[in-house]
Every structure is written in C-alpha cells, then in structure tokens.
Structure 1
Amino acid sequence: MGRITGTTRLLAVLGDPIEQVRAPELVNPLLDRLGRDAVLVPVHVRPDDLAEVVGGLRRIGNLDGLLITVPHKFEICRHADELAPAAAFTGSANAVRREPDGRWRADNFDGVGFVRGLRAAGHEPRGRRFALVGAGGAGIALAAAVLEAGAARLAVCDTDGERVKALLARLGERWPGRVSGSTEPRLEDADVAVNATPLGLRPGDPLPFDPGALPAGALVADIVMKSRQTPLLRAAAARGLAVHHGLAMLDHQLDCYRDFFRL
C-alpha cells in the first residue's frame, strides 16, 4: 500500500464480522498498480449500527464509496439514492459509490464475479443443474447470475422459508420453470452445489450441506473466503469431488470495481 497523505481518498468495506474480509488484500494492490492515491479499509459495523454509521460515512468528504459484506447486503439498499439494475432486481448490493452530485448509487457484482470465476476455472454454468444453499444477499445475486448464464435448473435452500418463497417469486417471474426452493438441501442430482451462507467463517460452524449427498462428478463451490480451503471444501475433496474456492468470486470482481469506482 502506498503512502497515506492528506490527499488520500478513502474506500471502506463494511461487515460483521470483519476479520475475514479479503477485499483490502486485493483492492489495495490494485490501487497501487493504478497509481491511485486511495486506500480501502475494513470497518466493523454491527447491524443495529448500520444506519448511523452509513449516515456518518456519507458526511466524510474524501470517502468515495463502500464495499459491503455479510450481513448488510440487503439493508444497505435502503441507504442508497439509486440502485443499478442488478441491485434493484435482487434487492441486494455489495458496492456503493458517491456520484459527482453527491448521490449514492448501489450495485451488486457478486453474481457476475462468481460466474466469471467459474468460467475461468473451466466450469461452464450453461446447461448445468445447480443447488444453492443460502438465500441471503450473496445467494440471491448468485442465483440470478447462474440463471442468466444459462443454468438448466436451480434448487435454492435456506432455513428461512419466507426468504425462499420471496426469492422464488422474484426469480420465477424471469426464469419460469427453472427454479425450485426448500428449507433442506436437495443435492441428489446437482452438477454444482454452492455454499452461499456464512457457515465456515467461525471455528465450529457446521457444514452448510453434506458433500456425501452429491453424485460423483459434482462440483462444490464455497463463497467463504476466510481461508482458501474451507471445511466444506476439505470435506468435498476428501470424497473425491472437484472444488471451487471462494476467492475466485472476489478476484473476478476487481475489474467491476475498477469501472464502478472509476479507478
């Protein structure tokens, strides 16, 4: 990271917890390579404090934008003046920027980053059957993105039945007949199984699903980035299944961030 001076512009990544975020490790070297006098810093914000913190951050004159992680991706949309199409459709955002007129615009790049990461690793989503566990802010973005990329079918699971129902209504209107939902994972015929929950961030977390329930040849993907080899991915690899690491989703969002924040 370059020298911080009185002219340095600020970006912040907001989350709870915050220790697991990897964005500063990737975005700050990008800022250095681009010769930008800017820095991305992590900010720990508990859900009850989000409105107050965001209100204060908006008043910081040299703050150009925010990255958003768990659990704030839905709620942050309430604090934006404008939602880009991906954020408007999913109701979830992972990036917010200050416009020249002072308005705040939110967008979501989780889905495009995930799909680009899959393709870069040789895993084409088109025609494949996906099982997605987790219908939160990242999950809904990934769901829309894999369907847009041509997934043959998507089975969404979340312990919150109302959240599943709302997601099915949103996705089913655009992609009728290709989406189903449940409160228990349906893995028996999935080609790709994705963990879009925070399970794996904390020691002792249970696995989000049992890789042993997947057919041979399935791919297991995890969006948790705290460590490259999450407990889920270790369990999947031990069963001979192919795995896809969470950091790929962030790696393939960097170009999106560069364009979005006009770096």
Structure 2
Amino acid sequence: MKYDIWCFIAWRSARDDTINLRKTRLVPLVGYPAGHIRAPSFLNPALATRGIDAIVIPWQVAPGNLPTVIDAFRHSESMAGFIATVPHKTALPQLCDHLTDDAAALRAVNVVRRGEDGRLEGGILDGEGFVAGLKSQGHDLTDRNVLLIGAGGAASAIALALAREPIASLTIANRSRDKAQALAALVGDMTGKKASEGPADPRSYDIVVNATVLGMKDTDPLPVSDTGFRPGQLVAEAIMQPPKTRLLSEAEQAGAEIHLGEHMVRAQIGLLIDFLFNP
C-alpha cells in the first residue's frame, strides 16, 4: 500500500500525543525499493519504550537521487539521522563527513547520525547485529566452519564480525570472485584471522550465511550452487522479507536448522538507537 507519510504522521498526531509535529525527530530508512522494509515496526516501539521522541519511516530513494536526498537531510534540523538498506550501503561512505573505523575500512554504511551543524557520521552495524542475532537464538560460533555468500555492504560487515568470533574458518563466495578475494584479504588484515574465497557449495560447512539479495523475489535463483543441506547444519539469512526465503525452506526440508533474517535487525535495534541518539 502506498501512502503519504506526512499524512500518516498528521493522522497519528491527531489521534494521540506520541508524535509532536514540532518536536518529533525523523529517522528515514532509505532504500530502493522500500516496499520490503519492515524494520520500522521493530524500531518505533523500541524508541517509544526508551522515551525517545522520534519516528522511523520508510523512505524510497532511487540510487541516482541519493546524493540530492542526503544533502537535503543534511540541511534538515528535523532529522536525527537515517538508516540505509539495499542498495545504498556502499554509496553512502562518500556522502558522509566522517566514518567509524569499521565503516571506513569496509566502505559501507547502514546508519548515519546528523550533528547539530549538519555534519554526517556513518557507521556499519550489520555485522554486530548479525552475530548478536545468532547468539540470541542460542547458536555457538566456536570452532565452526562458515560459508558466507556475498561481498557487498552487509556481507562485508558480517564477514568482519564473524572473523572476530572464535570460528574455525571463514570462506567467502561471491559472483565476482575478485570482490570475494579482496574482502577475504581485508578481513584477514583487520582481524589476523585467515579468510578465503571459495565456491558457494554449502555441503562441507557447519554454518551457511546468505548475505546477498537473492531470495527477496520469488523468481530469484538460489544463492548456493548445491542444495546438499543436512541435519546439524545451520543456514542463516540476512534477508527480512520474505520472512522465510526459498533457501531457508529448502534447508529446513533437508533437516538443517534455519535462522531468519529478522534476528539481525532485532539484535541491531539497541545498537542503531544508541548510535543515532547517544553519540
């Protein structure tokens, strides 16, 4: 359903006092398309619980318009900052004034806070959120052999966060092998833990992670080259919508344990709020 977000805010403010049009800070969640975005349904209740007068709203921006929109955010005093999703995470570093160490190294950003002077600081929390999500569901990473599929913005952050855990090995598979090799080298340099590039064949791994966009559409091919899933294996998604992708369904049917993409976002809620409102 399409609607005018400003009409929605006005309607909410007329019904109760949870939104004050003069004081409430806005946190756009920027993506393209924006129809799949579910994170506001998790973030807004958390903001209310913490007594923070702000609202997170989906904000659809085509890639070619991103610089113009970010410049407008920079000059809007109503903006606390913004959150980014596909496909904008790797385009944002060059639009920020300052980056956290991880965001600068990975050249990826999924959250930006706006200073009082309009300066923008970008961070990347996908990796921390993903690992925290795994742990929240009782998954132990110790001595696990992990296959990570993808080498984009979220995948880069997840690779780094996984390598900081006591895993046995990390293999990165990507359509562009050069990108996978570059990410493996970067992760090794940053953590001292060897990572390698390899095929998207899940059969020999304890944990398989899909950090690509493959699975968001019904017509998408599987991100793996073989569906030889097995009991005792964990297959995890970074995709939130649909809640259970075809990859997860096939893994579950084969007896593997599955981990939904929403756990990454739920585990990131506190991290995102702290970054935006408690610098």
Q: Structure 2 length normalisation: TM-score? A: 0.89
CA distance in 1, matches of 2:226, 2:131: 21
Alignment of 1:137-176 (within 5 A): 137-176=153-192
CA distance in 2, matches of 1:114, 1:133: 14
CA distance in 2, matches of 1:170, 1:46: 29
- Could you say if the C-alpha distance between residues 262 and 214 of structure 1 is closer, same or farther in structure 2, counting changes exceeding 3 Å? same
Aligned-residue offset at 1:235: 0.9
CA distance in 1, matches of 2:193, 2:135: 24
CA distance in 1, matches of 2:197, 2:222: 19
- Could you say if the C-alpha distance between residues 200 and 176 of structure 1 is closer, same or farther in structure 2, counting changes exceeding 3 Å? same
- Tell me the SS of whatever aligns to 1:243: strand
Select which of 192, 197, 203 maps to 1:188: 203
Tell whether the 8 Å contact from 1:14 to 1:44 is kept in structure 2 after alignment: yes
Tell whether the 8 Å contact from 2:201 to 2:224 is kept in structure 1 after alignment: no
Select which of 73, 76, 83 maps to 2:92: 76
Alignment of 1:9-20 (within 5 A): 9-20=25-36
Aligned amino acid, residue 170 of structure 1: L
Aligned amino acid, residue 234 of structure 2: L
CA distance in 1, matches of 2:24, 2:211: 34
* Correspondence for 2:252: 237
Aligned amino acid, residue 17 of structure 1: P
Structure 1 runs not aligned, ≥5 long: none
What per-residue deviation string (whole Å, max 9, x for no partner) do you get for residues 186-232 of structure 1?
A: 32311000000011112211111256324541100011101322211
CA distance in 1, matches of 2:193, 2:158: 18
Structure 2 residue 139 is matched with structure 1 residue 123: yes
Select which of 15, 21, 45 maps to 1:29: 45
Select which of 24, 44, 50 maps to 2:66: 50
* Correspondence for 1:66: 82
Identity score, percent: 34
- Could you say if the C-alpha distance between residues 152 and 211 of structure 1 is closer, same or farther in structure 2, counting changes exceeding 3 Å? same
- Could you say if the C-alpha distance between residues 177 and 107 of structure 1 is closer, same or farther in structure 2, counting changes exceeding 3 Å? closer
Is the radius of gyration larger for structure 1 or structure 2?
2
Aligned amino acid, residue 195 of structure 1: N
Kindly report the root-mean-square deviation, in angstroms, between the aligned alpha carbons of the 2 structures: 1.7
CA distance in 2, matches of 1:211, 1:242: 17
- Tell me the SS of whatever aligns to 1:131: strand
CA distance in 2, matches of 1:27, 1:91: 25
